Structure formats: structure tokens, C-alpha cells
A and B are shown apart, each in its own frame.
Chain A
Amino acid sequence: MSRQPHDEQALDADDAILAFDDVSMRYGRGPETLKDLTFSLEPGSFHFLTGASGAGKSSLLKLIYLAAKPSKGLMHLFGQDVSTVPPKQQPMLRRRIGVVFQEFRLLDHMSAFDNVALPLRIAGRKPDSYRQDVAELLAWVGLRSRMHAMPATLAGGEKQRLAIARAVVNRPDILLADEPTGNVDHEMGLRILRLFVELNRLGTTVLIATHDQDLVARSGKPVLHLEDGRLTQLGPIGGAS
């Protein structure tokens, strides 16, 4: 059973870590990809984002990690209206968001270890303060023996786990994952889910876009469902009454 009640859609923007108020989004001059979205995420919450291919899941995540701008509506992130955040402060917001991209976006010229260390280096941390953490995290996602491997030499599932390790290494306030179990077997899928639940317990707000209905059902977590760019459901999938 979920802690999230169905009808608490309009959370106060001040309490929410993320709040959309009638947000739409389009690519260039194209049609609206996302339409009139209103929802909010409480700090420490855990949601799935479902919907058919092309429904707009990745686009919604792009808005949140500041790679796209709403064409309409208000979006609050960490209590700040993002349209008023000066460009100079955007990097600081981005550092509080961990993203597992659908297409991984690993840096091919760096080893697995370097890829995971990247967000920490960008945040200005000294190598000695994180070497051990990075090694442990890589071991935890099952890449203990591939730390020095180049991404091009990794299997799909290994890349996925590497991308996850990079997204969570900085202990982000929000973790966004786009199809994080798309390339792994059932067992690894559950393991990844456990990692997300663990991070969530430590305080990270989690939003996972997925097709994996089984994973959603198993987790018992609430669902945001997109249908052709519109939000149609907020609550546990097949939630009782």
C-alpha cells in the first residue's frame, strides 16, 4: 500500500520538491508534446511514470532536469520557479538531480570508473574523498571487475548499471531514471529497484519512467500515467477504489 493518497494532487508548491502547474511543452514549433500537466512530488516520494511509447515520458523528465523549457505554465523545482532561475545558478540545481538517460549517455573516452566519478569531479570534490565510494558503488552494481573498462566494451546491461551508478553517486535530491531496467534481466531489474528504494529511504525523491508493468506492480509505488502528453492518473496502478 502506498503512502500517497489519490486526491492530494494539488500539494502546496512550497512543500513539494517538484511542482507543475498547468505546464505544457513542445519541441520547436511542433505540436504540444506535453499538455496542461499539474502535479507535484513530495520530498522523499517514489513514483513511476508510465505511458505508451511516444506518450511523453522522456520529455517530461527533460523538463525536470532542465534540458527543455515549458512552453506554458509554471514549474517549481526545490521550491524555486525555474523560469526565474538565472543561468548561472542552473548548474547548482542540476547537481541536485541524478539522471539515468534512456540512451545512457556514457562518455566513451573514459573508463567506467571515470564515468561514475564525473559528477563528483564537476562538483569540485577531491579524488581522495570519493575513490573508495566510487569503487564500492561500482562493485554494488556488479561492475567490480569492469571498473577500468571503456563503455564501448560493456554489454547493454552493464552500461545501464554504469549509468545508474553515475546518476546516484552524488546522492542527488531527485533521481530521474528513464527505462532503467530496459536492458537487464529480471533479477538485475529487481536489484536496481532495491537500489532505488534504498536511496529513496535515505531521502532521495525518485521518479522512474518505465514500460515494465511487472516492476511497477511489484514495487507497489504510485504511478503517474501519461497518455498522449496528458496526465491521466496519479496513484498506485490498479489502486483499490
Chain B
Amino acid sequence: MSDFDPGRWKPAPFLPETDARDGSLIFVVATLCFLACLTALTVLATDRAARGWSDQLTGQATVIVRAKGSETPDSAAARAAEALSGLPGVGEVRALEKEKAEALIAPWLGDTADLDDLPVPRLVAVDLDPKAPATPQSLDKALKAQGLDAVVDDHSIWLKDIQRAAGIARWIGVGVFVLIAAAAGAVVAFATRAGLTARHEVVEVLHLAGAEDTFIARLFQMRFARMAALAGLFGAGGAAIMGAILRLMGGGQGLTPVLPIVWTDLLAVLPCPVAAGLVAAVAARLTAQSLIAKMT
């Protein structure tokens, strides 16, 4: 066949294009990327949930009032509410009705208990100015001034718990992320090793024809970076779809308050293909260079 025209010849790739292992490598890296992106989405949502909860808690305090002497609980609660409203840093103040306080303790006492006979303390809900909230001490002082037996709960114990839990969740997320990146790197290093071994002949011929080690290493680097970026695209796409489903399933508020995903969170998966490509490039480069260097 003399239909070959050297004028139109295009150089072939130095390395064979496809390999039976490519499919499984892409699958593994795509899965890792999918998990990494889900982790990122989860961390973002957890962080948002924690912030939401702590915002709610910071904006409120609860005062527990016990009636002293002959005073009725209702009057004590009303006096406490009066003492607190109008203080700097305090917004709305509401004395909760007797039924509400009873409803809160009922689970511990059971239906049979006759709560009327018990000196059930009353609750006063205090909304604090979110910009300059009144301190628990100032609330306490105002209550003492009225001679009330009252305890101020500014929710700081819960707040600390939530913040600690959110912090732990964040660090676990980072840890999982690093682990996944390392696993992806190891998988690519492993694949590079296998790829170099499978193409030993090609590498040797290039080497003997005067190709520099860095040139050969770059061939593998590019090849695996491209493959990992593609896998990253698949994984990130899968995670974005998953995130979108979770968002839609949760209605207008997403899965609030458990996993409040917002649409912009999905942008977090965007760097994934690039990151996967970079991790693969570094892993393939280092592996290829050390293997080629051993070839004399």
C-alpha cells in the first residue's frame, strides 16, 4: 500500500495509549475522589450546622426561677422577667407558662406525678442582643437586686460541647482527606510501577536511543496525571450529584439541621480533578524517576 504520505505523518505517542489496567485505576481513583468530595461536603455542612446551633444558643439565655417564701411561682417569674427586660444587651424577655415548664420535666417524672404539689421552678427565656449580648453576671446581678432565687444559664456549656464536636468533626474530615490523598498517591505510584514494568521494553529503547531520564519520567507523569484528572472529574461529578440529591431531598432547607447543604457547597468539588492530577503527577514522577535511575 503506497497510500502512506510522509507529508501527513503525525508522530505517534511515545508510550502505548491504552493498557488493560487503565480502567481499574480510573475506577479506584474516581472512587477515592468521590469519597474525598463527600468528606468535604460533609465537613462544610457540619460546620454550618454547628454555626447555626451556636448562633441560636449565643443569642439566648434561660433563667430558672424558684419562688421564695409565700410568693407564687407565677409572680416570681413575672418579677424576674420585669427585672431583666430593659437591661442593656437584652432583647425580648418571656416568662414561660407553668405548662411549658411542666412539660419540660414531665419526661423525668412520668404522667402519674402530681406536679401541682411540687414546687416546679419557672423558666424565663431571654433573647440577647446578638451584637453585644448581656453577660450572665449582669443578668444575675439584676435578679439578685430583686431578691429572686434564680439561676442564669447562658448555654455556654452546650456551646462548648457543640464547638468541640464541630472542631473534632472538622479534624476528622481533614484527616480523612489526607488519608484519601495519600491512598490516591500510593495507588498511582503502584500503577506507575506496574506501567513501567509492563513497558520495560519501550522505556529501555527510549533510554538507549538517548532519551533523558526526566523525559521518560515526564511521559509517565503526564499519562497518569491525565488519567487521574479524568477520574477526579468522575468522582467530583458523582459527589456533586449526591450532594444535589441530599439538598433536594431535604426540602427548601436541605437536611437542616443535620446536614444543611447549600448549593454553593457543591463548588467545593471543583478543585478535585486538578488536585487528583497533581497528586498523580507527583507520585508518577517520583516513582518513574527512581525506577529509571536504577536501569543504569
Contacts and interface: CB of A to CB of B under 8 A. Distances in A.
A107 to B, nearest CB: 6
A108 B10 CA distance: 17
Interface stretch (B132-140, B141-149, B208-216): B208-216
Interface stretch (A50-58, A114-122, A202-210): A114-122
Interface stretch (B11-19, B24-32, B52-60, B241-249): B11-19
A93 B209 CA distance: 10
The A interface, classified by DSSP as helix, strand, loop or mixed, is helix
Is chain B's binding surface mostly helix, strand, loop or mixed?
Answer: loop
A122 B211 contact: yes
Contacts of A93: 210
A23 interface: no
B206 interface: yes
A127 interface: yes
Interface in A119-159: 119, 121-123, 127, 131-132, 134-135, 144-145, 147-148
Nearest to A95: B210
A99 to B, nearest CB: 6
A91 B2 contact: no
Contact of A118 (B16, B17, B209, B215): B209
B292 to A, nearest CB: 10
Contacts of A4: none
B108 interface: no
Among A66, A92, A122, which residue has the most Cβ atoms of chain B within 10 A?
A122
Interface string B200-226: 011011111111110100000000000
Contact of A110 (B2, B12, B209, B210): B12
Given A107-B202, A113-B4, A148-B1, A94 B12 contact: no
Nearest to A148: B4
A144 B6 contact: no
Contacts of A144: 2
A123 B211 CA distance: 8
Contacts of B215: 122
B208 A113 contact: no
A94 B205 contact: no
A94 B6 contact: no
B2 A123 contact: no
Contacts of A127: 9-11
B11 A121 contact: yes
Interface string A81-103: 00000011001111100010000
B112 interface: no
A65 interface: yes
A94 B9 contact: no
A168 to B, nearest CB: 13
A1 B4 CA distance: 44
A92 B215 CA distance: 13
Contacts of B15: 109
Nearest to B13: A109
A69 B296 contact: yes
Contacts of B7: 131
B296 A68 contact: yes
A231 to B, nearest CB: 24
A91 B202 contact: no
Contacts of A105: 201, 204-205, 208
Contacts of B13: 109
B144 to A, nearest CB: 83
A114 B206 CA distance: 13
A122 B209 contact: yes
Nearest to B205: A105
A113 B17 contact: no
The 10 lowest CB-CB distance pairs between A and B, nearest first, are A95-B210, A94-B210, A135-B6, A109-B16, A148-B4, A114-B12, A91-B210, A131-B6, A147-B4, A110-B12
Interface of B: 1-2, 4, 6-7, 9-17, 201-202, 204-213, 215, 293, 296
Given A114-B12, A122-B211, A134-B6, 8 more contacts: A65-B208, A67-B296, A94-B207, A94-B210, A111-B12, A113-B4, A118-B209, A131-B6
13 contacts: A67-B296, A68-B296, A91-B210, A93-B210, A94-B209, A94-B210, A118-B205, A118-B209, A127-B10, A135-B6, A144-B2, A145-B1, A147-B4
